[in-house]
A and B are shown apart, each in its own frame.
Chain A
Amino acid sequence: MNYFVWASGLAKTSPLGYALVNILTMAVIGMALAVAAELIFKALRIDLGRYKKEYEEPGTEAGK
């Protein structure tokens, strides 16, 4: 919570610093959560697969 109190102080004293802190905080948390989710899926041996083409090439009936 001290971190957020410090950051809120920046909002008044250094708006540019506050903006950079916000972006960095979100980026770090986002990446950490993304990697954590990936590790959880790997640990549970869940294979989520890859993109499968599900459309017909243009020129076929469904592609028109």
Chain B
Amino acid sequence: MIHLPVSGIDMAWWPLVLIGFTVGVVGGYFGIGAAWLITPGLNIFGFPMIYAVGTDMTHVVGKSIVATFRHWRFGHVSAVIALIMLIGTFSGVEAGAQVVRYLTAKGLAGTVVRSVYMVILAFLFFYMLYDYLRARRIEIATGKKVGDIVGTGISKWLHEATAFLPPIVRCRNTGMLMSAWFIVFIALITGFIAGFLGIGGGLVRVPAMVYLLGLPTKVAVGTDLFEVMFSGAYGCFTYSVKGGVELVAAVIMILGAAVGAQFGTICTKYVHGIFIRLLFSITCLFAFVATLLKQLSRPYERVYETGIQKVLEQAGFTKAQFSGLMLKQDVMQYYMVEVAKRPDWYEAWKTAMVYTKVGSAFILTAASFICLVILVQLVRGVVAERRAKLALEARAGATR
């Protein structure tokens, strides 16, 4: 067990390493922060949830440095595009956050944000799956393996429409030329969506780089991770200032994430970009289902959460302890039924817990599945490479 000094809670260290490792694999492979995997995972293992988002963003800073370094060594990182995108991203995030504040004042934020998030995830799932199947059709038609498809009708049109706007920048990795304003424009849109949804943005930025900027998939993954370093640092800063970060937990997570990120990043060497898109689409589907389950539990949570938090506060518990207590049936039964005399709260809590438990089980299974697929791809790639190298050496030896 480790002691978390900011929240005053004790918890086991190994779930943090495990979560860090899993998210490292997924993040290194897709170029995303994978917060949608982290926060439910932390909740299940009793991590105080008021520190979950901030701690996640803090660990993302370190994890993204490790993964970006590896992708940079592969030649997957366009620092120029990433730095220009930061300008648009930060502006877009602030604009999105302002819209959320407006909706919050109207009492509409939760439902609207989650609904928009699900629409985007569903769209990404269908479009990227369609994209993968299109590549397979091209393979059948041409008889040639399709590793990656670069550019779409929209990206080509956008490139042509902005080609006259200086400054023009060059993506060294691919030789592509594009207007810096084009990059800022795309980043503004993705930043707005990220700020609106309250997410890091990788889930939206990587597809945007692929389908709107027209970058090759692996370059989009590496370039996004470069940007995640800065957006993660910004998130870490804002949450830390509010006291919402457990540094100990972030450090333990990064120890697992650093190892996982190596596996996830190196695996991109052995798979085609188009396969990364297929797995990305499946990941979007998992995120959609997880968000749907959360949405279904919200009406029940709204019945009791404000009231029970007041009761727990009066009983002497700290805010950091609330999330852990609200997972315990005996505690909730006691405080809701016997102390607060609100059996309706308890009934709503039981229904919400069904969705929470199903959602948690689903997330853990989904994360394990994605991680396993990536690791299997890595092992297969390493074995195939080794065999090819040995065969080459054997041939070279035979010809001497």
- Complex partner residue of A62 from B61, B63, B69, B142, CB under 8 angstroms: B142
B321 at the interface (CB under 8 A from A): no
Q: Given A16-B241, A34-B258, A50-B75, output 13 extra A-B contacts at Cβ < 8 Å.
A: A8-B6, A22-B247, A25-B247, A25-B251, A26-B59, A26-B65, A30-B65, A49-B269, A51-B173, A54-B148, A55-B216, A55-B273, A62-B138
A residues in contact with B247, CB < 8 Å: 4, 7-8, 21-22, 25
Asked whether, in the complex, the Cβ of A55 is within 8 Å of the Cβ of B147, the reply is: yes
Q: Does A43 contact B (CB under 8 A)?
A: no
Per DSSP, chain A at the interface is helix
User: Are the CB atoms of A48 and B269 closer together than 8 Å?
Assistant: yes
Q: How many residues of B contact A (CB 8 A)?
A: 53
List the A side residues contacting B147 at CB < 8 Å: 54-55
A38 to B247 alpha-carbon distance, docked (Å): 25
By a beta-carbon cutoff of 8 Å, the part of chain B in contact with chain A is 5-6, 58-59, 61-66, 69-70, 73-76, 138, 141-142, 144, 146-151, 156, 173-174, 216, 218-219, 233, 236-238, 240-243, 245, 247-248, 250-251, 254-255, 258, 262, 266, 269, 272-273
Bound state CA distance, A58 and B174, in angstroms? 13
- Interface size classification for chain A: 35 or more
Pick 14 A–B contacts, CB within 8 A, sort by A: A7-B5, A11-B6, A15-B243, A18-B240, A21-B247, A22-B237, A26-B59, A26-B65, A30-B61, A34-B69, A34-B258, A51-B218, A55-B149, A63-B151
A21 CB contacts on chain B under 8 angstroms: 247
Would you call A44 an interface residue if the criterion is a C-beta within 8 Å of the partner chain's C-beta atoms?
A: no
**B147 nearest CB neighbor, chain A only:** A54
- Chain A residues contacting B255 (CB-CB under 8 Å) are 33
Across-interface contacts of B146 in A (CB, < 8 A): 55-56, 62
The residue that B69 contacts in the complex, of A16, A38, A49, with Cβ under 8 A, is A38
B150 and A37 contact, CB distance less than 8 A: no
CB atoms of B254 and A30 under 8 A apart: yes
Contacting B at CB under 8 A, from A1-53, are 4-5, 7-8, 11-12, 15-16, 18-23, 25-27, 29-31, 33-35, 37-38, 48-51, 53
Is there contact, CB below 8 Å, between A11 and B240?
Answer: yes
Q: Which single residue of chain A is at the shortest CB-CB distance from B150?
A: A55
